Amino acid sequence: MEEQEQLYIKGFNNGYLLAKHEPALAAQLAVNDNAHNAYFGGLIGGKAEYEKEIREWSKSFSRNSSAKDDRDKQMER
pLDDT of residue 24: 95
The C-alpha atoms of residue 31 and residue 44 are separated, in whole angstroms, by 9
pLDDT of residue 70: 56
What's the pTM value of the predicted model, to 2 decimals?
0.74
pLDDT of residue 32: 79
List phi, psi (to 5°) of 69: -60, -40
| Ranges under pLDDT 70 in the chain | 35, 63-77
pLDDT of residue 6: 97
The C-alpha atoms of residue 45 and residue 60 are separated, in whole angstroms, by 23
pLDDT of residue 17: 97
Spell out the domain ranges in the chain.
3-76
